Amino acid sequence: MNKIDFEKRRAEMVDRYIAHRGVRSTSVLAAMRSVPREAFLPQDLWEFAYDDAPLPIEEGQTISQPYIVAMMTEALELEGGDKVLEIGTGSGYAAAVLSQIAKDVYTVERIGQLAEKSAAKLAELGFQNIHVLHADGTLGWTDHAPYDGIVVAAAARAVPQSLKAQLKIDGRLLVPVGIDRRDQELVRVTRVSEHQFKTEELADVCFVPLVGKDGWPEETTGIRYSASE
């Protein structure tokens, strides 16, 4: 499949699966149209790059459903010039989408192989405002806090307190939450003041478990999930 085919399918995906389903932000739609999802997938999955579905990547993880990436990005309500923290780099695709709107994206991946590969891929594709760290994402990235937005691409048992603490006033945190590891609620937490937070439930989702000190214990990773609505 050549470049023209990918570009056509990408535009069709955005129109059919994202704009048609209610994503209205012009900056989010433009970002989804500009980032080549196929570049973040193994070549044998390229033909499925613009299906609205999660797909497998290395280490038993997934690249999220395009609609979910767009919906979560829109829910951050970025204005441009923002500093964003992403937890769960995975393939690097969602970070690439965020980077088209935010000034800087700081993304943390706990699996070393994925962190190394995604950093190399993002550099190869010319994304210069994305910074990748191999670490426990449940603890955030305090060196660059506070953040205008934080997005977590894995499911937590509860909203990690360490991430709430790294939000700016009026900043927003998006995180899937639930004790049922096959069914979570996407929660948006807005920092109202130093000690006050507003919480909203946005959608039912299903993500891989958020593993780390402030998340699920390591032994839960034998169960794999997909990011989808």
Q: Up-side HSE of residue 42: CA atoms within 13 Å toward CB? A: 10
Q: Quick count: other Cβ atoms within 10 Å of Cβ 136?
A: 16
Q: How far is CA 116 from CA 156, 181, 186, in A?
A: 24, 27, 28
Q: What is the chain's length?
A: 229
User: Could you give the 3-state DSSP secondary structure of residue 193?
Assistant: coil
Question: Given 27, 34, 64, 228, which residue is catalytic?
Answer: 64
Q: Is 64 a catalytic residue?
A: yes
Left if phi > 0, otherwise alpha if psi is -120 to 50, otherwise beta: which for 217?
beta
Q: Which residues are catalytic?
A: 64
